[in-house]
């Protein structure tokens, strides 16, 4: 009987030691948050962060997370963010995991001096996890961005 260790793609690169792993994962959590955590905070009322939808104006109007404000990602600058409190964390979101708009917006906001996190999964996963939405189309709005509007 052969008892030689089997090759593992998962463990081809060994796991980091626990101290390094702790540093990595706490650093990662400093930049990201998930739908469930944001949803729970929103359900409690008056969340301690600003939720920022960075998609285009039309898609925001059609469907967005209740309480979210809107600034199109490409329009984020010192002037368009002057009304925002630099002591309040901003949580950015876009379409979903295949969209990097929230990442780019978070980088711009950080460069302007805002504390910021990115909502993993965007509005796609918000909706998939049963999050409430509002807007002119609400739940009837498309789940994904389309070049054909």
CATH code 3.40.250.10 for 34-140:
yes
When pLDDT is cut at 50, 70 and 90, the band that residue 147 belongs to is: low
* Residue 18: pLDDT over 70: yes
- Cα 142 from Cα 121, distance rounded (Å): 15
Tokens 């949580």 correspond to 91
49's enclosing H/E stretch is strand 49-53
What's the pLDDT at 1? 61
Q: Tell me what the mean pLDDT of segment 56-60 comes to.
A: 96
Kindly compute the dihedral angle of the four CA atoms of residues 72, 76, 81, 84, in this order, to the nearest 10 degrees.
60
Could you state, in order of their start, the residue ranges of all structural domains in the chain? 34-140
Q: What is the pLDDT of residues 77-114, one digit of tens each?
A: 999 999 999 999 999 999 999 999 999 999 999 999 99
């Amino acid at each position: 009987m052969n008892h030689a260790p089997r090759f593992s793609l998962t463990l081809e690169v060994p796991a980091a030691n626990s101290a390094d792993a702790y540093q990595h994962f706490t650093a990662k959590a400093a930049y990201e948050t998930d739908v469930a955590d944001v949803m729970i905070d929103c359900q409690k009322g008056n969340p301690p962060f600003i939720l920022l939808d960075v998609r285009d104006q039309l898609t925001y109007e059609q469907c967005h997370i209740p309480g979210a404000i809107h600034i199109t990602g490409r329009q984020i600058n010192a002037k368009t963010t002057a009304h925002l409190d630099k002591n309040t964390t901003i949580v950015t979101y876009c379409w979903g995991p295949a969209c990097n708009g929230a990442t780019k917006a978070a980088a711009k906001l950080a460069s302007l001096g805002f504390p910021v996190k990115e909502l993993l999964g965007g509005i796609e996963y918000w909706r998939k996890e049963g999050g409430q939405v509002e807007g002119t189309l609400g739940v009837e709005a498309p789940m994904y961005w389309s070049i054909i509007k």
